[in-house]
Amino acid sequence: MTTGTPSLPEGQAQHSSLTLHATQNSELLREHIMSTVGNKVFKDLKADEVDEEVTTIGSLCLSCHGQGETRLLLTRIPFYKEVVLMSFHCKHCGWSNNELQSASEFQERGHKLDLTVRYKRDLDRQVVKTEYASLCIPEVEFEVQEKTQPGLVTNIEGLIDRAIQGIRQILTSPAVDAETIEKLTSFTQKMEDLKRVEKPFHLIIEDCSGNSFIENPYHPEKDLQLVVSHFRRSVEQNLMLGLPVDGGSYSGGNIEDEAADPREEVHSFATRCPECQAPAETKMKLTDIPHFKEVVIMALVCEVCGHKTNEVKSGGGIEPKGKRIELTLKERIDLTRDVLKSETCTLEIPELELEIGPGLIAGKFTTVEGLLEDIIAQLGRDNPFIQGDSATGETKKRLEKFVTRMDAIKELRETCTVVLDDPCGNSYIQNLLAPNEDPQLRIIHYERTSEQNEELGLNDMKVEDYAEECH
């Protein structure tokens, strides 16, 4: 039995209401955002500062058509992205609802999150489900299609309770016949049984926007219960997101002199600062890394808040084979080696049992020391689970121990191996003895697995005899 419909009447009503409220007040919200330029628009969520950051807007109640109130909170979820929390309440009829909308840009690819729920503690994992995400629990044949519910932030137990409440709401309708009541009652019991976790079950969220999220409670270690895979959006999914059908979002700047050498030019295009949302400019330049290949370096400096970002993307295509680079850190000079980490590269430090996927640290051109600093910043000192209200004793102790060991590695008091595993073959660590072989640097070329080719979109790509077939 497949059922996403039990909670649809309530979900669709909430979604329609909040959509209308957002439309009615979009100009006011835009003025609020622009008035905060120079400060952070999306601030970290803190219990003692919530009331100061809430924006209140008068809105039409779709239940009694009286004047209600919508409260907006722009915040950032740790290890995730910026979101807008919206809550509506009507003092005349008492009707209320709430919704979460992602304030981040759509990701380049959609993703599928497949979590195996094995223990009761897994029910407490935080979940962010956008309105573009579908949800499925195969063991009970439960499914919720995309665009049938508003976005929400809850935990796994909350998702199950929400489904049960939707079914029970249907059971109160006098139009439901006895046979349907019996089936829905039986299904409700199956959903209740899931909360006892007597046997493992799968929770699958597939989001074409790439903005859904399931918490990893073992951070910074890898979550062995969660499998994340990425996919290319279909034409229909791009249309649903309001994206161009060809997938392009930027056509590039005008180049007056087409004969000019692109390596000597610095191109720029308008964007917004990811910290304060003020208008900013991203600069882009094509450069060549000795003994490697061409790369595109992009950098942004915000003149309002001073925030800086930089990112590196490969200027070439995908290599015929994947590449695994292993560097043993022994001397101070090893920390000065140039490193190019592409956006598809996984970083590992086996001595710490640390594995960082492609998403946490973007593609960048730096040094080994700079890469270690990024790891410490992302997983340690800037980590809200250490500094924020959400820090628990066990998690805080584990992450502080991790930062201590990383500092020891950076100061060479502890030896380690830095591993870059890139299925595209576009990552690089400098060979200090080039063109001779470096004994501390080991490079392994390998055949990609079918799953890696699928994620890179290579399985369905035809390049052999392509020109002849076109003619």
Residues of the chain with CATH 2.20.25.420: 8-102, 263-314
DSSP string covering 226-263: EEEEEEPPPHHHHHHHT--TT---------S-TTS-GG
- Strands 152-155 and 428-429 turn out to be unpaired
Measured between alpha carbons, how far apart are the two ends of the chain, in Å?
A: 50
CA-based nearest residue to 415, from 309, 327, 321? 327
DSSP 3-state of 282: strand
* pLDDT tens digits, 324-367: 999 999 999 999 999 988 888 999 999 988 888 876 677 788 89
* pLDDT tens digits, 183-236: 889 999 999 999 999 999 999 999 998 888 898 888 778 889 999 999 988 888
Residues of the chain with CATH 2.60.120.1040: 110-241, 322-455
How far from 439 is each of 75, 151, 356, 443, CA to CA, in Å? 48, 52, 25, 11
* pLDDT tens digits, 359-368: 667 778 889 9
CATH superfamily of the domain spanning 110-241: ZPR1, A/B domain (2.60.120.1040)
| 0.85 surpassed by pTM | no
Q: CA 428, CA 324: separation in Å to the nearest integer? A: 9
In CATH, what number does 322-455 get?
2.60.120.1040
CATH superfamily of the domain spanning 8-102: ZPR1, zinc finger domain (2.20.25.420)
| Topology classification of domain 263-314 | N-terminal domain of TfIIb (2.20.25)
* Helix (H) / strand (E) containing 311: strand 308-314
* In contact, 148 and 11? CB cutoff 8 Å: yes
Lowest mean pLDDT among 5-14, 57-66, 434-443: 5-14
* In contact, 81 and 87? CB cutoff 8 Å: no
